[in-house]
Amino acid sequence: MSLVRSLPLALILSTAIGVSAYAEDTFVVDGVHSAALFRINHFNIGNFYGRFNDVGGTIVWNAADVTKSTVSFTIKADSIDTNNAKRDQHLKGPDFFDAKQFETATFTSTSIKAVDAKNMEVTGDLTVHGVTKPVTAKVVLVGEGKGPAGEPRIGFEATFDLKRTAHGMTFMSDKLGDDVHVIIAAEGVKK
C-alpha cells in the first residue's frame, strides 16, 4: 500500500481509537480529590487511622505501555490530620515526622509492572523523615473519564506497607505498631 493511500487510513484509525492510547499523557494530582491515609496499631488493642490533607504530584501515563509510565507524589508532613489537634502537634514534632526539618514525604517511581488491565506493581523510592527506602505498591487503575468541566481525568489507588522505625521514627515502638499501612487515592487532571 502506498504512503499516499495509507495516510488517510492511519488518520481515521488514530481518530477512532484515540490518539492518547499511543502517547504519554501528563496528569497533575488534584489535591482536592486525592488523599493519603494511614493505619497503625495502637497499643496492640486496635487499629488507628489518620490522613494527610496536602498531597500533590504528577502522573505520566502511557496507556499503550504502562511500563513507560511514571509517578511522583508529595505529601506535606505538617498536613497530618488525626481528628485531634494535640495529637497532630505531637506527630508533627521531633518524636515522629519532625515536620519542621522534614517538610515532605515523597515517592518517585523507578519501575511499573502491569499485572493485568487494571492492576500494577509500582516500585519506587519512598522518602519519609529524611530516610529513603525502596517500596513496591499495589496500584489499581480506578477509572478514566471527564471531570465536571470536561477535563480529562484519571484515578488510581495505591496500597503499601512500611516500617516506621526503618524511617527513623522509633518513639514508643514497643507500644505503637511499627507496621504502617498506607493508602493513596490519586485523581489526576490532564495538563
pTM for the whole structure: 0.85
pLDDT-derived band of residue 22, with 50, 70 and 90 as boundaries? low
Q: What is the pLDDT of residues 26-70, one digit of tens each?
A: 999 999 999 999 999 999 999 999 999 999 999 999 999 999 999
Q: What is the pLDDT of residues 52-61, one digit of tens each?
A: 999 999 999 9
Distances (CA, A) of 151 to 50, 63, 73, 148: 30, 18, 21, 7
Beta bridge partners of 157: 140, 185
Q: Which residues lie closer than 8 Å to 127 by C-beta, 6 or more apart?
A: 104, 105, 106, 107
For the chain, which domains are there?
A: 20-190 (2.40.128.110)
Alpha-carbon span 48 to 157, nearest angstrom: 20
